[in-house]
Amino acid sequence: MLTDRPIEIRTETKPKERKEFPLSIVPIDLLLPHEQIIEAELSRLVEDLKVNGILKYPIVVSEETFVVLDGHHRYNALLRLNYKYAPVILLDYNDDDLIQVDTWYPLIEETLEGFISKFPSHQVIRQGTGSIRDVLGELRQRSFTAIIGNDNGFVCIDGDREEIFSVVRNEYLETIQYADNPQVAFQHAGADRIAVVSWAYTKAEIVEKATKGEVFLPKTTRHSIKYRYSPINLPLSELENPSEAYLLKD
């Protein structure tokens, strides 16, 4: 199946409890992205904003650092359309009960042998058919970089995480899927379809990356917020002369 956008396999239920977070309008150059965007998705959003002139959801931002947590495509769409302000909700990124960070787990159409052959410099730490659950526990401790394979067989390799996922993005983009859970990723894998499961970056690492002006590959991080927040359905015209009631100045 060919696609110009990643398909997500989601197992998490949406938060049932809704909370109204205050909306702020901030100078867009205060915001610090930490992740690249997917061009096809950005182009669709830009065209939608041009036609309808309504931004449905705010950008979710750390109140301490102004790092973008959710809404990179909305942020980049406003930049592309030359808006100087952006609507945001500011959350306490240090509150682990409110915000948790994980990653996405790619599924790609490839054999295990074919994929491993692309990383001659990476060391194979383990090869076997043991319990994925046990090995995932070791992975969370960063005992190695990634587990690659399926329920029937896998290898654990050590090496550069960014290099692995650059290959995933660049060579398998047309068929890639993403699971929100490592066990689910392995369940959807097979003989000619493998899961590539690595550890997640920490909040501190994400903030450090953003404050350096650097960004991760798309789909590197996945932020989960305890509460649902409402759509804002904001006319873009309100970003041209923001109301003082919402304006947060730099």
Write out pLDDT tens, residues 147-166: 999 877 899 999 999 999 99
CA 228 to chain centre: 18
Q: Which two tokens stand for residue 93?
A: 């990124």
Residue 247: the pLDDT is: 63
Asked whether residue 91 falls in the same domain as residue 208, the answer is yes
Asked whether residue 90 falls in the same domain as residue 208, the answer is yes
Please indicate, yes or no, if residue 36 is contained in any of the structural domains.
Answer: yes
Please indicate, yes or no, if residue 222 is contained in any of the structural domains.
Answer: yes
Asked whether residue 232 falls in the same domain as residue 175, the answer is no
Asked whether residue 215 falls in the same domain as residue 136, the answer is no
Residue 159: the pLDDT is: 94
Asked whether residue 70 falls in the same domain as residue 137, the answer is no
- Residue 79 CA to residue 66 CA, distance in Å, equals 16
Asked whether residue 54 falls in the same domain as residue 168, the answer is no
Asked whether residue 128 falls in the same domain as residue 73, the answer is no
Q: What percent of the chain has pLDDT over 70?
A: 94
Counted domains in the chain: 2
Residue 130: partners with Cβ closer than 8 Å, 6 or more residues away: none
pTM: 0.91
Please indicate, yes or no, if residue 245 is contained in any of the structural domains.
Answer: no
Residue 3: the pLDDT is: 43
When pLDDT is averaged across residues 198-227 and rounded to a whole number, the result is 97
Domain coverage including residue 58: 13-100+204-239
Q: Which amino acid is at 228?
A: R
The pLDDT-based confidence of 221 (bands split at 50, 70, 90) is very high
